[in-house]
Amino acid sequence: MLVNLDRRALLAGGAATLLSGCATSGRRLKGECTPLTPVKLDAAQITRAYGCLRPYRAAGFVVRRDRFSDKALVHNYGHGGAGITLSWGTSRLATSLGLAGHSGPVAVIGAGVMGLTTARLVQEAGFPVTIYTAEVPMNTTSNLAGGQWGPTGHYRESAVTAEWRSQYKAALAASWERFRAMDEQRYGIRWLPTYTEADRLAAPGLAPYFPGSRLLAQSDHPFSVRDLAVYRTMYVEVGRYLAELAADFLRAGGSIRMRRFTTPAELSELAEPLLFNCTGLGARELFGDQELGPVRGQIVMLAPQPEVQYAYTLPSGYMFPRGDGIVLGGTFERNMWSTVPDPQTVSGIVEAHRRLMAGLRCTA
């Protein structure tokens, strides 16, 4: 749910500081000054705030084939905060499970990023596809995502199996290659240097997805925190991305039918012999997966600032600049079903980023 919050309330606790010039605090170094462009956080820049519900499972996403009535049913859901990142990869796993030995039309349930990427891969394999959905792509949870390519917030280390880890590794590799091959301008994808905590780069098997990564001494970066690293990754303007995927699907002969399913029995009424379940959080009620639950992220959107050409994921939160605006976030609230943002939390998000910007230093 999107709400218009009082801009003064968002910035309670201190007026927003418009940052300009070479440095705002810290020691000014001699010679050429090369600071990062500060993000403008005055009230006029804030366009909206909202809550995004990530479909989280401690045991990780589900890609599995089941028998269902007289049909084959392949699940592809539960991606937490890594839905955009893993979309092409887990959809590749799902279609490999479903299409082997299949003939005839295919149904995809759900029109978020998982539904669209699954449907496109089915089309590329030569099968006719219908997407059944309660919401058009632009009204799905996927359209509220931050859009950074980076696997995060989607499982608990102690809860996953060796089999799942193998799926995860394969999905990452497939998704990475697909994104890298896409037309960046058309799909709203761009690469940016990204600052993060040094220990975030240390996860086993993730090194290929942090290209150009290097550790930074405190004198090598402008932030008033220690132990940082920088790398390059992709950022997706999610609205444009979903619109282009949907357009590709329709141009390839696919059809989208509006329908809400409340029980599995209703799915058995469909004519297609192969179904892909891409319902995200909807799988909890539709298929009884009680391990699946929401993790709410509260997000503040700022007006576009094309001059901001970097991103960060730091203790103060994350900042992702996109063509349609700047995304500020950082909350991870388990089992919160409301999409209505909390004004105090939103104000805290803005203030945390304001303090970070106020502490930017020059580097040589």
pLDDT digits (tens, 9 = 90+) for 227-245: 899 999 999 999 999 999 9
Residue type, 193: P
Q: What are the tens digits of pLDDT across the range 87-108?
A: 999 999 999 999 999 999 999 9
So what's the pLDDT on residue 33? 53
Helix or strand run (H / E) with residue 343? helix 343-358
Domains of the chain (ranges, CATH numbers): 2-52+192-235+295-358 (3.30.9.10), 58-188+237-291 (3.40.50.720)
Helix or strand run (H / E) with residue 179? helix 162-181
Distance from C-alpha of 13 to C-alpha of 174, rounded to nearest angstrom:
46
Contact by Cβ (8 Å): 178, 93: no
Distance from C-alpha of 295 to C-alpha of 292, rounded to nearest angstrom:
10
Distances (CA, A) of 357 to 13, 24, 51, 222: 16, 8, 24, 10
Distance from C-alpha of 301 to C-alpha of 154, rounded to nearest angstrom:
23
Helices H, strands E: what count in the chain?
Answer: 9, 16
So what's the pLDDT on residue 198? 84
Distances (CA, A) of 167 to 26, 61, 90, 161, 174: 46, 9, 8, 10, 11
Q: In what order do the strands lie in the sheet with 106-109?
A: 62-68, 71-77, 274-277, 106-109, 129-133, 255-258
Please give the radius of gyration of the chain, using alpha carbons only, rounded to the nearest integer.
21
So what's the pLDDT on residue 170? 97
So what's the pLDDT on residue 201? 75
Task: State the pTM of this model.
Answer: 0.89
Q: What are the tens digits of pLDDT across the range 45-87?
A: 999 999 999 999 999 999 999 999 899 999 999 999 999 999 9
What residues in the chain have per-residue pLDDT under 70? Answer: 1-34, 202, 363-364
Distance from C-alpha of 53 to C-alpha of 74, rounded to nearest angstrom:
23
Please state the three-class secondary structure of 263-301 as a single string.
CHHHHCCCCCCEEEECCHHHHHHHHCCCCCEEEEEEEEE
So what's the pLDDT on residue 153? 87
